[in-house]
Amino acid sequence: MKRMFLFLVVLSSVLASATLVYPKHVIMNYGTYLEDNNYFLGEYDLGDVAPGQVIELVFSRNTGPNNTESSASIFWESAEVKPFPYSFKLNPKNLTVRVSVPETLRGDQKFNVTLYGHVGTIAPHLITFKVKVKEDVFSFEAPSSLEVVQGHTEYFFIKVKSSSAASDTLIIRKLSGIPSKWIDGREVFLGPFEEKTLKFSLTPNEEGYYPGGIVVERKSSALRDFLKLDLRVKPSFDSKLKAFSEGYSVIPVVLQPFYSLMSLLGLL
């Protein structure tokens, strides 16, 4: 009787499958039965992730070969991850596993996810995921210099692309070498492999040259990206008039003798 029960468990595991629906769509139908009663479904490469990010893996709860409601008689009920910290939650259709990448890790890493059905109905299914933990998972396209007029609002764009299999939130509020209050900062959510173009406004209120940049922070960790931005603020027409009325010269040096003579004649 015990042998018959083990045979049924093994048979059900062979017929079962696992489907990853997020962040990549992968159907895992074939594997190897292991000595510890786990059914190994293979090794899959998720790609890049950054330290501190949380990888969200969403599996269909359906274990049927075709992963349709009618073909399944057994559903995934829980999950276990080793060696990374994790949590999971269920809804009627999906099993979501959240895997935290330690901030101290770098380079090629692996972690195992084991899916469980009801005890005695299906053997645990084990999947190995590979990731490359690296800091530079975001790329940016942004102007390296701007020339604007004092007191006027100018607009510019930053294009950001994520190569990470995990989501993250970027915080773009701080400037280096430029007063941060001049920019309209914001937080931007980026999903796995997502790309967004962001519009910013800049309103400088003092003329001058400001070599600096934009600081991009991350919610997932203390890592930062720096976007070089040299800002040249030209005086506005109003500021030129004010400078003239207060006695400051806004006339090119080569023309100053001529205008001085004109002023003298006007006093005669």
Sheet of 86-90, strands arranged across: 26-28, 18-22, 54-60, 94-100, 86-90
pLDDT digits (tens, 9 = 90+) for 27-80: 887 778 777 778 899 999 999 999 999 999 999 998 765 544 444 567 899 999
Residue 16 CA: distances (Å) to CA of 29, 75, 207, 222, 258? 7, 10, 69, 42, 93
Q: What 3-state class would DSSP assign to 254?
A: helix
Q: Which helix (H) or strand (E) holds 1?
A: none
Residue 72 amino acid letter: A
5 vs 108, higher pLDDT: 108
pLDDT at 47: 96
Residue intervals of the chain classified under CATH 2.60.40.10 are 138-236
Query: Reduced to 3 states, what is the DSSP secondary structure of residue 267?
Result: helix
| Residue among 18, 23, 100 at smallest CA distance from 58 | 23
Averaged over 123-132, what is the pLDDT?
Answer: 94
Whether the pLDDT of residue 6 is over 50: the answer is: no
Is the preceding omega at residue 23 within 30 degrees of 0, hence cis? Answer: yes
CATH topology of domain 2-133: Immunoglobulin-like (2.60.40)
Q: Token digits for 248?
A: 């400051």
All CATH 2.60.40.60 domain ranges of the chain, comma separated, are 2-133
Please return the burial class of 117, using the count of CB atoms within 10 Å of its CB with bins 0-12, 13-18 and 19+: buried
Amino acid letter, residue 197 = T
Which strand (E) or helix (H) includes residue 173? Answer: strand 168-176
Strand partners, 199: 157
Cα–Cα distance for residue pair 237/251, rounded to 1 Å: 13
**CA angle (238 as vertex; 263, 205 as ends), nearest 5:** 135
Q: What is the mean pLDDT of residues 107-119?
A: 93
* Per-residue model confidence (pLDDT) at position 108: 98
Residue 246 banded pLDDT, cuts 50, 70, 90: low
Cα separation, 96 vs 168, in Å, equals 17
* Amino acid making up residue 178: I
Average pLDDT of span 134-147: 95
pLDDT at residue 15 is higher than 80: no
What is the structure's pLDDT at 16? Answer: 63
* Nearest to 133, CA basis, from 111, 110, 106, 112: 106
For 138-236, give the CATH class: mainly beta
Q: What is the pTM of this model?
A: 0.75
239's enclosing H/E stretch is helix 237-245
pLDDT digits (tens, 9 = 90+) for 176-227: 999 989 998 889 999 999 999 999 999 999 999 999 999 999 999 999 999 9
- The tokens for 250 are 């806004």
| 3-state SS, residue 4 | helix
